[in-house]
């Protein structure tokens, strides 16, 4: 018996050591910092005799490990003006360029491979592979990432930056910000998959990588929710999931490397499993040599199952304006719908004349009591109705939102939030 106890003690100690080896190392951001070697600043610039247009963003290289990369992933909105002004065609805007900057004095021209405006992603390429950066490793996000640390890597700055604001865009100038992954979600109306995070990113960091604790890219940073005064809503940053990027890469035969979803080393796990099996065998053998204790009188009481959650009665559906001109105004939403716009004779939620981006009859919001959804329909407005991710709604096509979701009309200063209660 003493020998068995001693053996059990030794095996328990071995099991503890093996489990410690199996645990992932403490995340300190060093893996994400290495991703800076894969990012570049992207600059679009166009001018004529009277004006100029400029946009700044971030992109990251994809490709096979050990090979010089040629292809870059970024947001569509980083290159949107380049596309709309005829970039890459004979009808292009005069004196226009799209460049990847390795630093303030070294850059290369970029070319469009493909893009998906609805998912806000784009693939660009250099004329030739480069040895100035290395490709990232991609990982498709899964629910086990929720609550874990995420890192955003990029060149934050003013999104509409003039060429004169350029300073330095070396590897060391890319910033690494940290936060947590809140949830994985699909956008109403488009089905586009997003990652919600409180990781800080803004302006020029759009199009940069969002990584997990091991430096694998799980998304492309794309948008932050904002209040009516332009202030960010804490905890509401969004990144397009890599699950949306992979099909676009595959369609264009762009090579990439995938990481394993597990962060636990396999060898220590095997050792731990073996030790655990031996411990169980010894415990069974030791218990078999003892006399069986007399069973207690009466059956052991079974634990009472937790009652199923029953939601309370739904509150009244309403829409709240976060624009300062409305001072927190809350309007009840009916099943027939309410109109939003500048026309006081037709609209129930009225914006002042001259409010940027708002049409006379801009959009309609109704409530579907059966599903509990709010139905938002853009009424072919001039400047569009948008989800907080930046996705523009298709005119005259209903979009379903849940209570607590927000959207904006025409301009990010015109945010509206759906509410119940």
CATH code for the domain of 97 = 2.40.10.120
| Domain boundary, last residue among 258, 284, 305 | 258
Per DSSP, 244 falls in state H
The backbone torsions φ and ψ at residue 270, rounded to the nearest 5 degrees and listed phi first, read: -65, -45
Spatial distance between the Cα atoms of 140 and 42, rounded to a whole number of angstroms: 25
Domain enclosing residue 408, as ranges: 317-420
Residues 361, 225 share a domain: no
- What CATH number did the domain enclosing 349 receive? 2.60.200.20
Nearest partner of 125 among 73, 67, 64, judged by Cα: 73
Structural domain count, the chain: 2
330 and 234 part of one domain: no
Q: Tens-of-pLDDT digits for all 421 residues of the chain?
A: 545 555 445 444 544 444 444 444 444 567 878 999 999 999 888 877 677 777 788 999 999 999 999 999 999 988 988 888 887 676 777 778 899 999 878 899 999 999 998 889 999 999 999 999 999 999 999 999 999 999 999 887 533 344 444 456 788 888 888 899 988 988 777 788 999 988 776 656 788 999 999 999 999 998 654 444 444 444 568 899 999 999 999 999 999 999 864 444 444 444 455 555 555 555 555 555 444 444 444 444 444 333 332 333 346 899 998 887 888 889 999 999 999 999 999 999 999 888 888 999 999 999 999 999 999 999 998 889 999 888 899 999 999 999 989 899 988 888 899 998 7
DSSP 8-class letter at 1: -
Residue 102 lies in a domain: yes
Answer whether residue 141 is part of any domain.
yes
* Residue 69 resides in a domain: yes
Strands 137-138 and 257-258: parallel
- Co-location of 244 and 108 in the same domain: yes
The answer to whether the predicted template modeling score (pTM) of the entire model surpasses 0.85 is: no
- Domain end call among 258, 278, 309: 258
User: Where do we find the tokens 């999104």?
Assistant: 159
Instruction: Please tell me whether residue 277 adopts helix, strand or coil conformation.
Output: helix
Residue 245 lies in a domain: yes
> What does residue 64 show for φ and ψ, rounded to 5 degrees?
-90, 140
Q: Do residue 37 and residue 177 come from a single domain?
A: yes
Report pLDDT digits (tens) over 255-288.
Answer: 999 986 444 444 444 445 555 555 555 555 555 5
Do 87 and 215 lie in a common domain? yes
């Amino acid at each position: 018996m003493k020998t068995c106890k001693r053996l059990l003690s030794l095996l328990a100690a071995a099991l503890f050591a093996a489990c410690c080896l199996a645990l992932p190392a403490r995340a300190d951001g060093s893996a994400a910092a290495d991703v800076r070697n894969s990012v570049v600043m992207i600059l679009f610039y166009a001018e004529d005799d009277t004006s100029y247009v400029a946009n700044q963003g971030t992109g990251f290289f994809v490709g096979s490990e050990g090979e010089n990369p040629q292809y870059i992933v970024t947001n569509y909105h980083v290159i949107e003006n380049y596309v709309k002004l005829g970039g890459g065609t004979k009808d292009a805007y005069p004196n226009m360029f799209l460049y990847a900057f390795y630093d303030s004095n070294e850059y290369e021209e970029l070319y469009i491979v493909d893009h998906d405006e609805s998912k806000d992603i784009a693939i660009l390429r250099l004329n030739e592979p480069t040895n100035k950066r290395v490709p990232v490793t991609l990982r498709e996000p899964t629910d086990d990432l929720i609550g874990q640390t995420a890192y955003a890597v990029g060149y934050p700055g003013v999104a509409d930056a003039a060429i004169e604001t350029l300073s330095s865009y070396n590897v060391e100038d890319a910033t690494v910000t940290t936060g947590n992954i809140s949830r994985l979600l699909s956008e109403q109306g488009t089905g586009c998959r997003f990652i919600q995070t409180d990781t800080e990113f803004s302006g020029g960091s759009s199009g940069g990588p969002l990584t997990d604790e091991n430096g694998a890219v799980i998304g492309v940073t794309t948008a932050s929710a904002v209040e009516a005064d332009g202030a960010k809503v804490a905890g509401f940053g969004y990144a397009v999931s890599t699950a949306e990027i992979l099909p676009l890469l595959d369609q264009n035969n762009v090579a990439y490397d995938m990481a394993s979803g597990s962060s636990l080393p396999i060898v220590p796990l095997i050792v731990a499993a073996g030790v655990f099996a031996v411990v169980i065998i010894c415990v069974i053998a030791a218990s078999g040599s003892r006399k069986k204790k007399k069973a207690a009188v009466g059956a052991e009481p079974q634990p009472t199952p937790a009652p199923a959650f029953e939601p309370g009665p739904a509150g009244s559906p309403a829409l709240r304006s976060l624009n300062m001109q409305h001072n927190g105004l809350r309007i009840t939403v009916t099943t027939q719908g309410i109109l939003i716009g500048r026309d006081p004779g037709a609209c129930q939620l009225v914006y002042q004349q001259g409010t940027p981006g708002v049409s006379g009859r801009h959009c309609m919001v109704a409530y579907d009591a059966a599903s509990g959804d709010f139905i938002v329909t853009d009424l072919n407005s001039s400047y569009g109705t948008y989800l907080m991710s930046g996705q523009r709604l298709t005119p005259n096509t209903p979009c379903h939102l849940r209570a607590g979701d927000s959207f904006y009309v025409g301009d990010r200063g015109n945010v509206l939030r759906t509410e119940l209660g």
